[in-house]
């Protein structure tokens, strides 16, 4: 758990409340940097270079923040997701230009993978990247992109050949690039999410991330790191819901007894507590395996994300049932969590995709 998370969460909630729904909250990014939280995601090695964070560290930070301030958690997570392809696969000059400012909360980053006709089926990406002199011209559309259209730098995945998943290349694309435009998308939970349109956007060769036609490896390695931490985000929200339900049940009196004395209530909360602990252990098992370099860990990340996000939905729904109608009032913590908890079952690979990853691992080589 993030040390001092409750106090930090209270401070960050005030900054988050001052933001505009659906728009990048740059003051919140700055506050995350000032409190050293972005520094825990973007770590520097002994020579001052940026090195990948540990998955365990990322999970601890995300769970701690999610329990007390989901807006701060999301802001931190999308900074990491958007910039990690650059950290892992960018040229030195691109890393030096962008990552220090992302880590300082001075600029916002976005991860641009999903398209209108290519969500879970990433191999069907249609955004084209065509050779043009010493670079590429990108044409097409992206949707449900983190921090769009306000991010200053995007990790963009585009098609450079017709070889399916082996024909995708990753690029670092600044927002200021000529021909790049976009708009915001209003969601149930008002995160900064939007569409991007690329009208022959020029990207120099130096901004290719990794190898040409090797973008899928960049995307999957990034997602393998972040998927367990999506589970940590979910566990944090589920724990917040359980905390609220326990407090309510211990103090609320009905029919002359506290709600906690009714077995129908207390046993529901006991079930939530057991599932949350199981989810937490799955998350940390996947993160530890990733950090150990134990080979292919995608199935463990999938298990963690699958179980934790489904468990969080159950936890929030149960907590609302225990509270009754008051939890549905706009502005109530559980009303907020109810809107927040739904999306993680879809983004970075829907629940159904996680099951497919796990199933393929079971039957690999059979």
Tell whether the model's pLDDT for residue 323 goes beyond 90: yes
Average pLDDT of the chain to the nearest whole number = 93
Q: Answer left, alpha or beta for residue 78, where phi above 0 means left and psi between -120 and 50 means alpha.
A: alpha
pTM for the model stands at 0.92
Query: 202-232, pLDDT tens digit by residue?
Result: 999 999 999 999 999 999 888 888 889 999 9
Place of tokens 């009208």: 199
Give residue limits of the domains in the chain: 5-108, 110-213, 216-363
Does domain 216-363 bear CATH number 1.20.140.10? yes
Positions annotated as catalytic residues are 348
Can you tell me the distance from the alpha carbon of 148 to that of 153, in angstroms, rounded to the nearest whole number?
A: 10
The dotted CATH code for 110-213 is 2.40.110.10
The pLDDT score that the predictor gives to residue 363 is 94
pLDDT band at 324 (very low <50, low <70, confident <90, very high): very high
Q: What CATH number should be reported for the domain whose range is 5-108? A: 1.10.540.10
Residue 274 pLDDT > 80, yes or no? Answer: yes
**Which has more confidence, 306 or 223?**
306
State the CB neighbour count (10 A cutoff) for residue 355: 13
| Whether the predicted pLDDT of 4 surpasses 80 | no
Non-local CB neighbours of 176 within 8 Å, separated by 6+ positions: 152
pLDDT level of residue 326 (50, 70, 90 thresholds): very high
Which pair of tokens denotes residue 104? 């300082």
If we measure between CA atoms, which residue out of 171, 176, 192, 198 comes closest to residue 116? 198
Task: Say whether pLDDT at 1 is over 60.
Answer: no
Segment 128-150 mean pLDDT:
96
């Amino acid at each position: 758990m993030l040390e001092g998370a409750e106090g930090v969460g209270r401070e960050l909630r005030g900054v988050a409340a001052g933001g505009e729904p659906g728009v990048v909250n740059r003051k919140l990014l700055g506050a995350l940097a000032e409190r050293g939280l972005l520094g825990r995601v973007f770590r520097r090695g002994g020579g001052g270079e940026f090195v990948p964070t540990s998955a365990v560290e990322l999970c601890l930070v995300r769970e701690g923040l999610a329990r007390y301030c989901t807006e701060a958690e999301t802001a931190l997570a999308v900074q990491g997701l958007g910039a990690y392809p650059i950290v892992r696969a960018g040229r030195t000059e691109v890393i030096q230009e962008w990552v220090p400012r992302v880590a300082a909360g001075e600029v916002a980053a976005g991860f641009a993978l999903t398209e209108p006709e290519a969500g879970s089926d990433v191999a069907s990406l249609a955004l084209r990247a065509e050779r043009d002199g010493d670079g590429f011209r990108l044409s097409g559309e992206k949707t449900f992109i983190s921090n769009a259209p306000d991010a200053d730098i995007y990790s963009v995945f585009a098609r450079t050949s017709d070889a399916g998943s082996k024909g995708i290349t990753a690029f670092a694309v600044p927002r200021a690039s000529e021909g790049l435009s976009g708009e915001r998308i209003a969601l149930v939970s008002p995160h900064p999410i939007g569409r991007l349109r690329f009208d022959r956007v020029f990207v120099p060769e130096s901004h290719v991330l990794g190898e040409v036609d090797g973008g899928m490896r960049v995307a999957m390695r990034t997602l393998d790191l972040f998927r367990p931490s999506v589970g940590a985000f979910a566990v944090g929200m589920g724990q917040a819901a359980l905390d609220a339900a326990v407090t309510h049940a211990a103090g609320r009196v009905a029919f002359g007894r506290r709600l906690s004395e009714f077995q129908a209530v207390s046993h529901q909360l006991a079930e939530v507590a057991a599932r949350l602990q199981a989810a937490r252990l799955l998350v940390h098992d996947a993160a530890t395996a990733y950090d150990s370099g134990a080979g292919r860990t995608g199935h463990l990340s999938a298990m963690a994300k699958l179980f934790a996000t489904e468990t969080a939905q159950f936890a929030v729904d149960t907590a609302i049932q225990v509270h009754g109608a008051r939890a549905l009032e706009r502005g109530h913590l559980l009303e907020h969590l109810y809107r927040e908890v739904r999306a993680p079952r879809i983004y970075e690979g829907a629940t159904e995709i996680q099951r497919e990853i796990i199933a393929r691992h079971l039957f690999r080589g059979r």
